[in-house]
């Protein structure tokens, strides 16, 4: 009887051991988490590539409208002139590359003298010529009042160039002159398109095209 009980107990233990589940497989939750991590990482990489591509496209677009040889704005060039001659009114401003690279040439007058400076459009270096005394009939504010330009709220040279090119239909803005006629200060922008050159006059405050003329 005792031997039968012992045999029955051993049989039960063997049966229980055979029914235990195999625990060596990887939990499904771990596998799912790894898969999600891979997908998330891939999505972030794609987003980064898209963002970089968009930024490159924007930079490319900007480079088509901005002249890399012109780092100094017209407003900054005017400020540099006025810092040197605070009592002078600006009577002329030109931006071109006649000297091999882009320079501003600015002229102005006060009650007694006329001034002229050249400003490098890349690094703001200013070179001033010796002042010249005005003729007697131009002194005491007469020339200053008659020829002084309105340099407040100017549209930028980039904007003026864009307007001029759109008016012509194609080409590149190469030269800018700030002048005055019948009391209106305007940008005179030269646009080159192949062998053709067109001068476009633009209101320097509003951007309105005043005239367009093809050079002979």
Query: What's the pLDDT score for residue 100?
Result: 81
Instruction: Give percent helix, percent strand, percent coil of the chain, each to the nearest 5.
Output: 40, 30, 30
pTM greater than 0.85 (yes/no): no
The whole-number pLDDT of residue 15 equals 46
In the chain, which ranges are continuous DSSP H helix? 2-18, 28-65, 74-84, 142-147, 157-168
Residue matched to tokens 């771990």: 30
Q: Which residues contact 176 (CB under 8 A, 6 or more apart)?
A: 74, 94, 95, 96, 157, 160, 161, 187, 188, 189, 190
What local confidence, expressed as pLDDT, does residue 66 receive?
62
Angle between helices 157-168 and 28-65 (to 10 degrees): 80
- Per-10-residue mean pLDDT of the chain, 216 residues long, equals 44 46 43 43 43 38 58 97 97 90 96 97 96 94 94 96 96 96 95 95 97 89
């Amino acid at each position: 009887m005792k031997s039968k009980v012992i045999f029955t107990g051993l049989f039960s233990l063997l049966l229980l051991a055979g029914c235990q589940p195999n625990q060596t497989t990887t939990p499904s939750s771990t596998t799912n988490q790894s898969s999600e991590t891979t997908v998330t990482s891939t999505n972030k990489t794609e987003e980064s590539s898209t963002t970089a591509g968009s930024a490159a496209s924007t930079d490319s677009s900007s480079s088509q409208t901005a002249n890399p040889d012109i780092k100094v704005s017209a407003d900054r060039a005017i400020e540099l002139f006025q810092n040197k001659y605070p009592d002078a009114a600006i009577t002329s401003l030109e931006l071109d590359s006649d000297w091999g690279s882009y320079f501003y040439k600015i002229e102005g007058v006060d009650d007694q003298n006329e001034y002229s400076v050249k400003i490098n459009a890349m690094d703001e270096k200013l070179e001033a010529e010796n002042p010249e005394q005005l003729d007697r009939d131009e002194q005491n504010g007469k020339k200053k009042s008659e020829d002084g330009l309105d340099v407040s709220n100017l549209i930028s040279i980039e904007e003026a160039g864009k307007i001029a090119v759109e008016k012509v239909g194609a080409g590149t803005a190469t030269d800018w002159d700030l002048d005055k006629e019948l009391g209106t200060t305007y940008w005179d922008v030269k646009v080159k398109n192949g062998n053709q050159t067109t001068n476009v006059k633009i209101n320097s405050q509003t951007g309105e095209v005043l005239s367009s003329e093809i050079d002979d």
